Amino acid sequence: MSDRTTVRRLVAGLQAKLGADVLRTASKGLLLLVLTRYLLTPEEFGLLFFGMSALAVAQLGANLGFAKSTARYVSDYSQTDESQIRHVVRAGLLYNLTTVAIVGAVLVGFDREIAVLLDEPALAPLLVLGPLFVLFTSLRTFTRTVFQGFNEVWWSALVSTVSSVTQFALVVGLVVLDYGVVGAFAGYIGAAALASIVGFAVLYRRFYSRLPEAESTEDGLKRRVLRYNFPLAATRGAGVLTGKVDQLLIGFFLTPAAVGFYTLGKQISEFVMMPAVSLGFVISPAYSSEQTGDRPERASRIYEKSFENIVLLYVPAACGLALVAEPTIRLIVGSDYLGAVPVVQILSVFIVVKAVDKITNDGLDYLGRARARAVIKSLGAVSNFALNVALIPVMGVAGAAVATVLTTSGVVAVNVYLVTQELDLSPWHLGATTVRVAAITAVMGGVVWVALPFVSGIPSLLAVVTAGAVVWAVLALLGGFVDLDDVETVLANVV
């Protein structure tokens, strides 16, 4: 495959994934706004996400790493022997459904006990629906990830789009019908179910049914799918614990309202990271395919350019978000949620670190370094738990944000180091890029800081944000980060 073909395929995948993520983020943001400003109190909003965090931890035992293990071997056998891919998909799905059934049975039998253990009896109605939440979110993840393994990100984007659109309609509709927090939770389940149905229909009709099938499974194939799952499960488990244990501990030590403040801040940071999520999802399989095809230098260039773009976008964005956090939450969400301001400001650092992680993390799985990454991420999860236990009682929700920033930064630093061992990268080049972007950010941040006292409403807030964006764009152009010819090419393709 030529350089031009590789780039064309990646750009097409990025456009599809980015388009779906724009829709998903817009839908999620609108849902967040409607829930916080109009439909749910901070306590109810916090209770909803307290329950979802508890089930996300339970889902670790249901998902393990089967989806990504399946995708890895789908990607590999797409290059070597397509007749084994059906066996790979069947094995991965069977393993996944078995663990989902086990976890679902535990949730059905011990819902009240789990609510008491978390010191929040009001969680019990949500935990009753927990098995359905675990089942359909697991199946949705499986289809999206397997499409990634086929290097057909467009179909992953379709699954995300179906989930996003139906999620808003179902959640808002059920809350408006006076089903409250339980109705909102049921809306999330319904959206995941519809997305799963669409995903499996596409997977079967357009991929599985059209593939040739060997009469017998390659010796040891199912065992390899199962075995590679374990380091992936450890990595995924560490990631979920790092991302969800803070909400669980806030709910345990503080109140559901505090969970609501933290969740709002966390979701704002996730909205900002949307382009990095899209880019990382698209380019991760390319590392493996380029390496397998004896084109390691191409994989290295893909990572370096991705790193440059991520840093150029996210360091200034995080700085701007920290500066405008207070007026943004006050004017858009409402004064009842001002407790989320310190969370947003602290997590602005997390946004930069996590954005780099998005182009690094999954790539290590496809490069065969899942075990090493699992070890460091597990250590990070343990550290994160310990820091949360130590800091939340002292600092409140801000303590959880500090713990997240510290542990994530350490894990991502090691992940970047691992990538430099697999690809021919220059740490000095990556460092120089970061320093140049930091200089641009300092100037842009100064402009925004000077303009902040003039913010009195949403129009003036948008004006300040726009001024910062213009300064960033001009400095990025003058600094040689942006080529006008490339911009014209991209616009021509989009328009």
pLDDT one-digit tens code per residue, 289-342: 555 545 556 667 777 777 888 888 889 989 999 999 999 999 888 888 888 899
pLDDT of residue 172: 94
Nearest to 31 by CA among 188, 161, 239: 188
Q: Is the pLDDT of residue 449 over 90?
A: yes
Whether residue 452 lies inside any domain: the answer is no
User: What CA–CA distances, in Å, run from 381 to 57, 247, 409?
Assistant: 12, 14, 12
Q: Looking at the chain, how many residues does it have?
A: 495
| 329: in domain | yes
Q: What is the pLDDT of residues 338-377, one digit of tens each?
A: 888 999 999 999 888 888 887 777 666 656 666 777 778 7
Backbone angles phi, psi at 220, to 5 degrees: 85, 0
- Tell me the pLDDT band of 12, cut-offs 50, 70 and 90: low
Q: Is 465 contained in some domain? A: no
In this prediction, residue 467 carries a pLDDT of 93
Sorting pLDDT into bands at 50, 70 and 90, what band is 483? low
CA 245 to chain centre: 16
Confidence label for 491 from pLDDT (cuts 50, 70 and 90): very low
**51: containing domain:** 3-425
What's the predicted TM-score (pTM) here?
0.73
CB–CB of 353/406 below 8 Å? Answer: no
Q: Is the pLDDT of residue 170 over 90?
A: yes
Residue 390 lies in a domain: yes
Contacts of residue 245, defined as CB under 8 A and 6 or more positions apart, other chains included, come to: 57, 381, 384, 385, 388
First to last CA, the chain: 27
pLDDT of residue 308: 82
pLDDT digits (tens, 9 = 90+) for 191-225: 999 999 999 999 998 888 888 887 788 888 888 88
Instruction: Tell me what pLDDT residue 171 has.
Output: 95
122 within a domain of the structure (yes/no):
yes
Closest by CA to 233, choosing from 130, 377, 94, is 377
Query: For every residue of the chain, which 3-state class applies, written as one string?
Result: CCHHHHHHHHHHHHHHHHHHHHHHHHHHHHHHHHHHHHHCCHHHHHHHHHHHHHHHHHHHHHHCCHHHHHHHHHHHHHHHCHHHHHHHHHHHHHHHHHHHHHHHHHHHHCHHHHHHHCCCHHHHHHHHCHHHHHHHHHHHHHHHHHHHHCCCHHHHHHHHHHHHHHHHHHHHHHHHHHHHHHHHHHHHHHHHHHHHHHHHHHHHHHHHHHCCCCCCCCCCHHHHHHHHHHHHHHHHHHHHHHHHHHHHHHHHHCCHHHHHHHHHHHHHHHHHCHHHHHHHHHHHHHHHHHHHCCCHHHHHHHHHHHHHHHHHHHHHHHHHHHHHHHHHHHHHHCHHHHHHHHHHHHHHHHHHHHHHHHCCHHHHHHCCCHHHHHHHHHHHHHHHHHHHHHHHHHHCHHHHHHHHHHHHHHHHHHHHHHHHHHCCCCHHHHHHHHHHHHHHHHHHHHHHHHHHHHCCCHHHHHHHHHHHHHHHHHHHHHCCCCCHHHHHHHHHHHC
Averaged pLDDT for residues 406-435: 82
Q: Is the pLDDT of residue 417 over 90?
A: no
CB atoms within 10 A of CB 424: 12
Assess if residue 256 is contained within a domain: yes
Number of separate domains in the chain: 1
User: In the predicted model, what is the mean pLDDT of residues 383-403?
Assistant: 91
Residue 64's pLDDT is 81
Indicate whether 433 belongs to any domain.
no
Mean pLDDT value of segment 227-238: 77
Q: For residue 182, what pLDDT is reported?
A: 94
Average pLDDT over residues 94-110: 90
In a domain, 257, yes or no: yes
What is the model's pLDDT at position 95? 93
pLDDT band at 275 (very low <50, low <70, confident <90, very high): low
